[in-house]
Amino acid sequence: MAQFSIENRMRAITMNLSEVNLMSSKKENQISKNDQSAKLGKSLCNGSINMSLNCSTNSQSVATKTPKRTETSFSNKTPKMTQGPTLGKPNSWKSPGMGAGVIRKAQNILGDRMVPSRSTTDFEAAHHKMTSEDPSGDRVLSYQTVQIPKPQEAYINHQKALYSASSSTQKKPSTRFIPNTADRVLDAPAMMNDYYLNLLDWSQTNFISVALDKQVYLWNAASGDIQELMECEGDDNYISSVQFTQDGSYLAIGLNTGCVELWDIQQQRRLRTMAGHAARIGVLAWNEHVLSSGSRSGLIFHHDVRIPQHLVASLEGHTQEVCSLKWSGDHRFLASGGNDNLVHVWEGTSGQITRNTPLHVFNQHQAAVKGMAWCPWQSRLLATGGGTNDRSIKLWNMNIGDCVDTIDTKSQVSGIFWNSEYQEIISSHGFPNHTLQIWKYPTKAKVAELTGHDERILHLAMSPGETAVMSAGADETLRLWNCFQTDPNKKKGIAGRRNEPRSALDAMSNFR
């Protein structure tokens, strides 16, 4: 019994010890699990805090810095939502996979601007290219030419902004052809080599008159017929000037004796002779029914051809021979040039002079003034040309009474005409070049230079349609130049061109 009880007690102790060990191991396992749960909870709490801080920091960096462009990778896994919205940004819920990279990229596309790197910009070189006049070919800035849209109807621009845009950056090449040689050459024997005379004129009815010593010849530019109109009497007498009326029906002829003869072109007869000058008459100019004549004495007479007492006015201003006279298109001014290097502008109305003192006196020329022409589209603009010591064309504005521009022709100027269609000036020249030159107005650029005369050019006349000119030279030749042919692409039917010679060039002959 005693032994049995001892064994039972030993078994009970052993069982108690086993239960204690089992309970102890279970407790240790429970403690270990609790420690792991605590560590996991702490880690999750720290991660949430760090993520919140990171989101706040990233938001501030996006607002203060220009973000760099980054590539965003999209995961196939379902993204987890962040712990919560960033402080101050209640709508900033976003997934980690579509995070700050996408927002920054969208901001770069929509709200960013290009800021150049100043450290890589050469400001001195850029300033030099923008201010330098040397056309090196480098382009600082280049913009596309865009047509600016027209404003809406009844739109009012309160900012007063001005816009301009050209349809093309390159100018279209000009299709105009200017022959540099004469179309036809006529012989003109006995042409007087005198710079101060005016022996050539072209009428509105397409007749050309040329004076050769004692004879006056008429050439019909439409048919090519040539006829002798008159021959002056006297051994020492010669023809010193010719001038058609504005309608081309009559021709005034100035003589060395100081008389003026008036001839009917159709009937080929002399109508009257008007005396008055004491010296030769070198230049004539018509203004309706009043004929102005300039003499070697320096006087300018006005003859009213309708009345017996034809002398109605006398102008005293030049001290030497008058070699050019031109009435303006509106008949308000008469310009005169003389061998005294002066240009006088006289005021007149409807062919009658209102006062005998010049309105303007210009003394900038350094030689005799023979070339002279009024601008057809600017009635107050006058062009004058000087002789050998001057070699220039000067433009005068009657409104201000001064020279507004000068063209250096490098040669003696003997004649000037304007062309309305191309807005150009053609001038004939004597020593030393013997050429015709065409100038663009108002740029003064030389368009062409026509050569052919062997000696100086003395006279110049323009056709009624302003498409051709004829020059007379000391080499005893007349040359026809078709230098202002009408562009066929432009409008036709301009008044005054119906009488322009078309087929006359095929019927040319000479005066011999």
Mean pLDDT value of segment 211-230: 92
Mean pLDDT value of segment 146-170: 57
- Say which residue the tokens 């290097």 belong to: 341
* Rounded CA separation 483/183 (Å): 10
- pLDDT of 86 reads 44
Is the pLDDT at 197 greater than 90, yes or no? yes
Range with top average pLDDT, 55-59, 194-198, 500-504: 194-198
Contacts of 413 (CB under 8 A, 6+ apart): 370, 371, 385, 386, 387, 390, 391, 392, 393, 427, 428, 429, 430
Label residue 82 by pLDDT band (50, 70, 90): very low
Instruction: Read off the pLDDT of residues 106-157 as tens digits, 9 standing for 90 and up.
Output: 445 545 566 666 666 677 777 777 776 655 555 555 555 556 666 666 666 6
Is the pLDDT at 462 greater than 80, yes or no? yes
Give me the CATH code for the 184-496 domain, please: 2.130.10.10
Mean pLDDT value of segment 442-458: 95
Question: Shortest CA distance to 432 belongs to which of 393, 471, 474, 461?
Answer: 474
Is the pLDDT at 384 greater than 50, yes or no? yes
- pLDDT of 59 reads 46
- pLDDT of 116 reads 63
* Rounded CA separation 141/143 (Å): 7
Task: Give me the percent of the chain exceeding a pLDDT of 70.
Answer: 62
- pLDDT of 25 reads 63
Label residue 337 by pLDDT band (50, 70, 90): very high
Mean pLDDT value of segment 155-168: 54
Q: What is the DSSP letter of 20?
A: H
Whole-prediction pTM: 0.64
- Say which residue the tokens 């919205």 belong to: 85
* Rounded CA separation 68/218 (Å): 90
Task: Give me the percent of the chain exceeding a pLDDT of 90.
Answer: 55
Instruction: Read off the pLDDT of residues 54-77 as tens digits, 9 standing for 90 and up.
Output: 444 444 444 444 444 444 444 444
Question: Shortest CA distance to 247 belongs to which of 285, 289, 216, 205?
Answer: 205
**Identity of residue 171:** K
Label residue 501 by pLDDT band (50, 70, 90): very low
Q: Which residue has the higher pLDDT, 156 or 457?
A: 457
Q: What is the overall mean pLDDT for the chain?
A: 78
**Identity of residue 202:** W
Is the pLDDT at 15 greater than 50, yes or no? yes
Domain residue ranges in the chain: 184-496
Mean pLDDT value of segment 245-269: 96
- pLDDT of 180 reads 87
Mean pLDDT value of segment 272-298: 95
- pLDDT of 169 reads 45
Strand 446-450 versus strand 457-462 pairing type: unpaired
- Say which residue the tokens 């010890």 belong to: 17
Are the C-beta atoms of 476 and 207 separated by less than 8 Å?
no
Is the pLDDT at 183 greater than 50, yes or no? yes
Contacts of 92 (CB under 8 A, 6+ apart): 55, 59, 85, 86
Q: Which residue has the higher pLDDT, 103 or 422?
A: 422
Q: What is the DSSP letter of 341?
A: S
Label residue 425 by pLDDT band (50, 70, 90): very high
Is the pLDDT at 504 greater than 80, yes or no? no
* Rounded CA separation 217/269 (Å): 13
